[in-house]
Amino acid sequence: MKRKWVFALLSGALLVSVGALRAQEPPAGAPPPDAMGQEGGPEGPLGPRMEILGFGEMHPGKVVTGAPYSAVAVTETRQTLADGNTISRKVQANVFRDSQGRTRRETTLTGVGPLSTTGASRTFVMIHDPVAGTAFVLHQDTKVAEKLPVPRGGRKPPANLQGKFNARMQEEIANGSLKKEDLGVQTINGISAQGTRFTRTIAAGQAGNAKPIIITNERWYSPDLQIVIKTVRSDPRFGETTYTVTNIQKQEPTAALFAVPSDYTVKQGGVRGRGKMNHTGGPGAAPADMPPPPPGE
C-alpha cells in the first residue's frame, strides 16, 4: 500500500511524457521550447514533477530516430526551509534509445515519500515503443507489465501554438519579467551542447510576495542527440534542482531492452479522468511532498 502512489505517479508521468513526445515536433536540430510558464513546458504545471522523476531528456520533444544512445540520468533536488532544515531528493535512471526511437528508462527512487523513512530504494522500468504504438511499466517484483494507453498521433496542439509561445516570450522579455541569455556551446560529459538561461522575475505582489522572486532555469541541449544534457533550476520557493545526463554511449542498445520479457504477465492500464490512473496504483496525482505548480506560471 505504501508504494502504490509511487507506481501511479511514474505510470502517469510516463503517459504524459509519451503524449508530449508524440504531440510536439520542434524544428529539426533545435532544442525544445524553454517554456518558462508555458503549459507542459519545463516550468509549467508538470515541469517540477517531471524533473524530480528524471524525465528531463524525454520531455518535451519528438520521437527521435537514427540517434541511439544509452546513459545515466541523475536528478538532485535540495530545498532549504526557513528554519534551516533541508530536504534532499535524488532520482537516478538508466536511459536507452534505439535507432527506431524506442526508449527505455530504469528509474531508481531513494529518499522520496515512504521510502525516505525506511532508507529503501525502488526501481521502475518504463518502455515506450513508437513503432508498435505501445508503452509499458514493468513491475519487476510481480513480473507484471502494465500496458498504458498511447493515443495514436498524440494530442494535436493548436496550429498556432508556437506562435503564441513566441509572442508571450517576446511580451515578457519586453516588459522585463523574462530575460533570455545565450550561454554559447560547451562540451558537457563528452557531448557538445548549446546553453540557454532564462531568468524570470515575479513582481512583488503578483503571487502575494512582498519582494520580487527571481527564478532561473539553465538548460544545455545537444542538437546531435536531441536531448537535454543538463539543467539547473533555481527557485527560492522550492530550492535548486539539477538534472545531468552522464556516461553517454552513442551505440545501439540491445533490442531485448525494448520488449516485455516472456515471463511477464501483461495487464491493461488506463486513464480515468485527468490525472487518474485506472490500475492497481490508484490515483496518479503527485504526492503532497512534491512542490505545487508555481503561481502564475
Number of domain units in the chain = 1
Q: Is residue 240 part of a domain?
A: no
Q: Is residue 279 part of a domain?
A: no
Q: What is the pTM of this model?
A: 0.71
Ordered per-residue pLDDT tens for the chain, 297 residues:
444 444 444 544 444 444 433 333 333 344 444 444 333 333 333 344 444 444 444 433 478 999 999 999 999 999 999 899 999 988 889 999 999 999 999 988 765 555 555 556 778 899 999 888 899 999 988 899 999 887 655 445 555 676 787 788 888 888 888 999 999 999 999 999 999 999 999 999 988 999 999 999 999 999 999 999 999 999 999 999 999 999 999 999 999 999 999 999 999 875 444 444 443 333 222 333 333 333 333
- Give residues with Cβ within 8 angstroms of 279, minimum separation 6: 7, 8, 11, 146, 267, 269, 270
Rounded-to-integer distance, Cα 103 and Cα 131, Å: 11
Question: What integer pLDDT is reported at residue 74 of this predicted model?
Answer: 92
239 sits in the region (left: phi over 0; alpha: psi -120 to 50; else beta) called: left
Q: Is residue 176 part of a domain?
A: no
Q: Is residue 14 part of a domain?
A: yes
Rounded-to-integer distance, Cα 257 and Cα 105, Å: 10
Q: Quickly list DSSP for 261-295.
A: -TTSEEEE--B-STTBB-STT-B-SPPTTSPPPPT
Q: Is residue 110 part of a domain?
A: yes
Q: Is residue 238 part of a domain?
A: no
Q: Is residue 230 part of a domain?
A: no
Q: Is residue 164 part of a domain?
A: no
Domain, as residue range, for 65: 4-154+247-268
